Chains A and B, each alone.
Chain A
Amino acid sequence: MNLFKAELRRILRRRLTMVFGILALAGLIAMAGIMWAISSTGPSEAALAEAQAEADAWNAENPDFQDCVDDPDYFTESEYYTWAVDDPEYAELTHVERCETYVGMSAESYIWTYTFSFEEEGPFLLIGAVVVAGLIMMMLASSAIGAEWSSGGMSNLMVWHPNRMQLWAAKLGAALAVCAAAVVALTALGFGLLILTAAVRGDVGNLDAQWWEETLEYLLRSGILALGMTTLGASLAMLGRHTAIAGGVIAGYLIVGDLVVRMTTMALPVPYPERLSLYTWVTAWITGRVELYDWQESGMDMNPDVMVITWGDAGVMLGAIVLLFGALATWSFKRRDAA
């Protein structure tokens, strides 16, 4: 326990932890700030009047619009406007409004408004924040282990604590604890900032029991993903014994590896090529379900074969990857000489 507490303190006292913490906080505030800036509950009376004037001016110079206004059967007589008649909103509009909407211009054509809906968009923004927190923790954990190796501090610690498994458990446990705390803190802060933004500048929406259940499921799985990323970062650094090696492997996969997988699958007739990409499994894990379509086998007959990846499948796949690297790191730390 003493060792775990010391390792926890060691991570928290690192300069990189402070830098990443500030960056994560700034990113969260920036995200809420952007939503605050672009969201509104609707245009002002003056903006609406100005847009209407612009639309009227344009319509006045449009002969088709005048024809439409003058002919009450304009839409029903012409076969070109069947699509407009079939529009669900058609019945709710007056004739002039129909002309503005389907032939000419309306005030909405000259004004853009965006209303942030916390109910619809909030969960995805929070998931994004948690995944970014996971990436940050992956870098932080790999740095905490890698820097110890490259500085010689690890050998020194091993002289103090010759039980290597205990040492590895303490280091990994401390990194996971920091990750969990960071995810919870960032999610709570993000939730507060976004719901405040929605309440003042947008629409909170109906946060019923089903919404809470789904959102908490998403966030819980995203949090577990962040913990897995932290374990992966620490394991890679333990294997490579240098932060740069862990960072290189991660960046290499994110930038080049997935691209190579995609290019290879384009050249080879593999069914469901997206399943070879880690992003597909990560998406399935977070959203709960991903459907892949095999257009090659179906002969483009609009009824392709479907492969469904559920969060359970994705959990097994991603868990196996983390477990594999974790086991390799554990074996390596236990067996290899401290150079």
Chain B
Amino acid sequence: MPSIIEISGLRKTYRRSFRQPHNALDGLDLEVAAGQVHGFLGPNGSGKTTTLRALLGLIRVDGGTMRIFGEEVPHRLPQVVSRIGAVVESPQFFKHFSGRLTLQLLAESAGIPKERVEAVLEQVGLRDAAKASVKGYSLGMRQRLAVAQALLKQPQLLILDEPANGLDPAGIHHMRELLQWLAHEQGVTVVVSSHLLSEVQQLCDSMTIVSRGRRIVDGSVAEIIAGHSGASLSVRFPDIASLSEAAEALTAAKPGVGAIVERDRLIVTGAPEAAWVTQTLAEAGIYLSELVTQTKNLESVFLELTGTAPMPGQTVQIGGSVAVPETAAPIEVPVTVAVDGRPEAEEAQR
């Protein structure tokens, strides 16, 4: 499976007078495979937008290489830009122009037929508001307009920075369906930078998490979450007095199994499977009333990986996320992808 985006060792340092230099990107690596919705996540100030801006030629970098469709960018960007649609940061438009005129001017500048304007207005749900000036648009409507302009070119690569920003629940749902349709039905590769982790979890096939300008982890969303969820089980009993007895029975039954009493329940780790717990407890004459497999969601995995989980009485400051050592390899997670219509193959990401 060819990579649509390949970034290696990307560095960007902002130097300002009378201030310490700031390494926005510190050797960042990123790979995005074709035909996927790829999430690009990281705490505030971790370098997501800087990466996207560098990729699109808006800023210069101090080191590293970037390729889109195999072409080195930004040098060869003019050759591939017609295949890329992008929205970077909060999109702004001339407020006195209508939504339709805004798109028409962009379409005209790139020699795109006018019919595309109507098509994308329909696609993002702005058909009825197309005549109104952008001044009267809500944040969500501007976001839709921004996505519409990114879709004008019928791109093969769609780069969207916070596409759900300002959208109402129906808008988010619509955007999710649209992006998944583009990726899975039309073969468009979609890169989404977002802080809405629940949305990313539902939307994306694969993702890369960055912190302080470096990649922490990449791979399929499901695998990353599973890889960090562990195999912990929550067990409750009709009688709280059974907790310590059950913990003893479980830890004694198999080496490596842990059991910690947490208020009115027992947290079991290292158990081969849930059935083994019920069987072991039954053999010890202890009967449980509830057994729940504890799974983590993307938010908890993200907070854990980036070190930005809130602590009681403390606030995580911008730039206070986890630093990845220069020599550390990113966490490898297998990702399942379809290759040329053949049965699904498992490919190890770097």
**Chain A residues engaging chain B, CB cutoff 8 angstroms:** 2-3, 5-7, 9-10, 13-15, 147, 151-153, 155-163, 335, 337-338
The proximity string for B residues 78-104 relative to A, scoring 1 for CB distances below 8 Å and 0 otherwise, is 100100101011111111110001000
Cross-interface CB contact of A162 among B56, B88, B91, B111, cutoff 8 Å:
B56
Give every chain B residue within 8 A of A158 (Cβ-Cβ): 56-58
The secondary structure that dominates the A interface is helix
The complex places the Cα of A162 from the Cα of B149 at a distance, in Å, of 16
The minimal Cβ–Cβ distance linking A194 to chain B, given in whole angstroms, is 35
Contact A160 B110 (CB under 8 A): yes
Give every chain B residue within 8 A of A163 (Cβ-Cβ): 78
B292 close to A (CB within 8 Å): no
Cross-interface CB contact of B59 among A2, A161, A337, cutoff 8 Å:
A337
Nearest A residue (CB) for B106: A160
Extra pairs beyond A2-B109, A152-B90, A160-B81 (17, CB < 8 Å): A2-B110, A6-B105, A6-B108, A6-B109, A9-B105, A10-B105, A13-B97, A14-B94, A14-B96, A15-B96, A156-B149, A157-B109, A158-B58, A159-B58, A159-B81, A161-B110, A162-B78
Give every chain A residue within 8 A of B105 (Cβ-Cβ): 6, 9-10, 13
Contact A159 B56 (CB under 8 A): yes
Contact B109 A160 (CB under 8 A): yes
A-B contact pairs, 7 of them (CB 8 A): A13-B105, A155-B89, A158-B56, A159-B81, A161-B109, A161-B110, A338-B58
Give every chain A residue within 8 A of B53 (Cβ-Cβ): 337-338
The complex places the Cα of A161 from the Cα of B60 at a distance, in Å, of 16
The complex places the Cα of A151 from the Cα of B95 at a distance, in Å, of 9
The complex places the Cα of A147 from the Cα of B202 at a distance, in Å, of 38
Contact B58 A153 (CB under 8 A): no
Chain B, 57-84, CB within 8 A of any chain A CB: 57-60, 74, 77-78, 81, 84
The minimal Cβ–Cβ distance linking B267 to chain A, given in whole angstroms, is 49
The complex places the Cα of A9 from the Cα of B84 at a distance, in Å, of 24
Nearest B residue (CB) for A147: B94
The minimal Cβ–Cβ distance linking B115 to chain A, given in whole angstroms, is 16
The complex places the Cα of A14 from the Cα of B84 at a distance, in Å, of 28
Nearest B residue (CB) for A161: B109
The secondary structure that dominates the B interface is loop
Contact A156 B92 (CB under 8 A): yes
Given the interface pairs A156-B92, A162-B78, the reply to whether A3 lies near B109 with Cβ below 8 Å is: yes
The complex places the Cα of A152 from the Cα of B149 at a distance, in Å, of 14
Contact A337 B60 (CB under 8 A): yes
Contact B108 A5 (CB under 8 A): yes
Give every chain B residue within 8 A of A7 (Cβ-Cβ): 109
Nearest A residue (CB) for B97: A13
The complex places the Cα of A20 from the Cα of B39 at a distance, in Å, of 47
Contact A153 B93 (CB under 8 A): yes
Give every chain B residue within 8 A of A13 (Cβ-Cβ): 97, 101, 105
The minimal Cβ–Cβ distance linking B84 to chain A, given in whole angstroms, is 8
Give every chain B residue within 8 A of A161 (Cβ-Cβ): 81, 109-110
The minimal Cβ–Cβ distance linking A15 to chain B, given in whole angstroms, is 5
The minimal Cβ–Cβ distance linking A198 to chain B, given in whole angstroms, is 40
Given the interface pairs A156-B91, A156-B92, A338-B58, the reply to whether A2 lies near B111 with Cβ below 8 Å is: yes
Give every chain B residue within 8 A of A160 (Cβ-Cβ): 81, 106, 109-110
Q: Which 10 A-B pairs have the closest CB atoms?
A: A152-B92, A6-B109, A337-B59, A338-B58, A6-B108, A162-B77, A162-B57, A151-B92, A3-B109, A2-B111
Nearest A residue (CB) for B159: A159
Contact B108 A152 (CB under 8 A): no
Give every chain A residue within 8 A of B95 (Cβ-Cβ): 151
Nearest B residue (CB) for A164: B57
Give every chain A residue within 8 A of B97 (Cβ-Cβ): 13
The minimal Cβ–Cβ distance linking A166 to chain B, given in whole angstroms, is 8
The complex places the Cα of A10 from the Cα of B106 at a distance, in Å, of 10
Most chain B CB within a 10 A radius of its CB, from A6, A152, A153, A160: A160
